Amino acid sequence: MEMFIMGLTIFVLAIFVGFEIITKIPPTLHTPLMSGSNAISGITVVGAVLSSGSQHTMTTTILGVLAVVFATINVVGGFMVTNRMLAMFKKKS
Amino acid sequence: MSSLINIGYLVASVLFILGLKGLTHPRTAVRGNLLGAVGMLLAVLLTLTNQQIISYEWIILGLIIGGAIGAVSAIKIEMTSMPELVAVFNGFGGIASVLVAGAALLENTMGAEVPMMQLTIAIAASGLIGAVTFWGSLVAFGKLKGLIGDNAILFGGQQIINAVLAAAVLALSCWVVIDPASGVAFWLLVGVASVLGVLLVIPVGGADMPVVVALLNSYSGLAAAATGFVLSNNVLIITGSLVGASGLILTQIMCKAMNRSLTNVLFGVLAPVGDGGPTADEVYGGKVKSTSPEEVAILFETARRVCIIPGYGMAVSQAQHPVASLAALLESRGTKVEYGVHPVAGRMPGHMNVLLAEADVPYEALRDMDETNEDIDQVDVALVIGANDVVNPVARTDPNSAIAGMPIIDVDKAKTVVIIKRSLSPGFAGIPNPLFALDNSLMLFGDGKKAVLDMIAALKDN
């Protein structure tokens, strides 16, 4: 139970941190914000790697590998496309 | 070893926070995104050193396949299709949470030990939110891509069906928590949550898509956080809640910009159109003046200040590059050009800004709604391209109208307004726009891209 309360504390505090940072992001950057935050939500890849590597049963391995594929698309695609977009935002030359 | 890994995860979390912080300015944004990517790499590498892992072949295969698909889609995607891509990536994050939760349930029910209740609650939440995110995102993708009707799809009893499904989802969640060893309960829960995900997005209309995409973004974060509770892993909890908060704020901003409540958007309810509102004929009858690209070019020659107001129509006709060339040409003649971007213009938050940045428009020239409205009365020519409801002055003047109270860009206060539009057909709100009939308004009927190219040609001829 302690673990859970600990997790909950972190969850709530991180939401407040998120609110503080995100409200400062200008509308111009809202699309890259979405794709970028989307990429970091692919952090599930950490769990996916554990499930596919610990090989408890065939089924957990298959579920894990599929999860790795989906989460990695999310992560790699998300960061790359965000980078591509942000590189286009230029100052007046 | 494990505490070393956890310290590494803490570093990764800090990198994510710094990365998001970098996004607060275009100058630091590229670096911010890079910091996030480094954090992710660190988290993955640390996880690979976990002693639970006994075999790497499958992991590496998965990473390679996923990485390749992600990289190719990121490189190939057109900027106009960005909303679709973000929607589908959101969905993939969601389905990954479902799969991880499913695997965790199996692992924890194999032995004789009964898993702790907080674990099964987290597994149920992870499966539920993940499935809603995945299917909701797929429907949003289909709508944005035009595979499913762009309009709100409403049918009788929709709300009742949703309520029944929501009750079923709750009941199934309880079943998962009480009897985790029965794997059926979890997958039934995922199945019903999937149907719920589809039905929640189906009734949402095209112009409301920015809200839905933002909300699904928030869900994908919450799904990751729930998975964090399943694995008792802080980096997932922290990251998930950051993304959840981010999506929620964007959802709020979008709703505010449309003067709609989230419930209205989600249930496909538009504000009731006031009875006896003026018909199109009453508003437009004999008062609409149409113009030609040549005439607009003459207007531009004497204008000192021009403000361009882009809407979804600009994206549809891929007019962003000609628009930027027109602006550059005007600037070279000493005219000041700026862009007034409404928060809900386009199909996702900030969509217009990305398109204009792609066309090499410097970000200093992109102004938000409030900045634009501050001195719009000093603008000589306001050029509206493919926007309608977001420049409809009725929002300000008629308290009974369907869009009453919605913040708009006050182009009607500019000295001259030129509106490029295919016809006088109404926008999403379905009401006529008296802007088109104002004394200082000129309609330029036609395709956005062609109209702008013709203006450029006319300017060069003179």
pLDDT at B1: 65
Please name the residues between 15 and 54 in chain A that touch chain B, using a CB distance below 8 Å.
Answer: 15-19, 21-54
Q: How far is B96 from chain A, CA to nearest CA, in Å? A: 4
Distance separating alpha carbons of residues B102 and B109, to the nearest angstrom:
11
| B252 and A CB contact within 8 Å | no
Give per-residue pLDDT as tens, B117-167.
889 999 999 999 999 999 999 999 998 888 876 666 667 777 788 889 999
Q: Across all residues in chain B, what is the average pLDDT?
A: 90
3-state secondary structure of B147: coil
Measured between beta carbons, the chain B residues lying within 8 angstroms of A66 are 62, 99
Burial class (CB in 10 A: 0-12, 13-18, 19+), B415: middle
Give per-residue pLDDT as tens, A40-93.
999 999 999 999 988 788 999 999 999 999 999 999 999 999 999 999 988 776
Phi-psi region of B292 (alpha: psi -120 to 50; beta: other; left: phi over 0): beta
Q: Which residue in B103, B133, B149 sits closest to B218, CA to CA?
A: B133
Measured between beta carbons, the chain A residues lying within 8 angstroms of B53 are 49-50, 53-54
Q: Which residue in B52, B393, B226 sits closest to A64, CA to CA?
A: B52
Percent of chain B having pLDDT more than 70? 96
- Kindly list the domain boundaries of chain B, sorted by start residue: 1-76, 84-266, 280-461
pLDDT at B356: 93
Q: Cβ of A65 and B59 within 8 Å?
A: yes
pTM for the model stands at 0.90
Segment B84-101 mean pLDDT:
95
Give per-residue pLDDT as tens, B180-193.
888 899 999 999 99
CATH architecture of the region B280-461 = 3-Layer(aba) Sandwich (3.40)
Chain-centre distance of CA A24, in angstroms? 20
pLDDT at B275 over 80: no
State ipTM. Answer: 0.95
Give per-residue pLDDT as tens, A8-48.
999 999 999 999 999 989 988 999 999 999 999 999 999 99
Measured between beta carbons, the chain A residues lying within 8 angstroms of B125 are none
Identify which has the larger pLDDT, B209 or B36. Answer: B36
Q: Which residue in B39, B21, B37, B40 sits closest to B29, CA to CA?
A: B21
Distance separating alpha carbons of residues B27 and B41, to the nearest angstrom:
23
pLDDT at B274 over 50: no
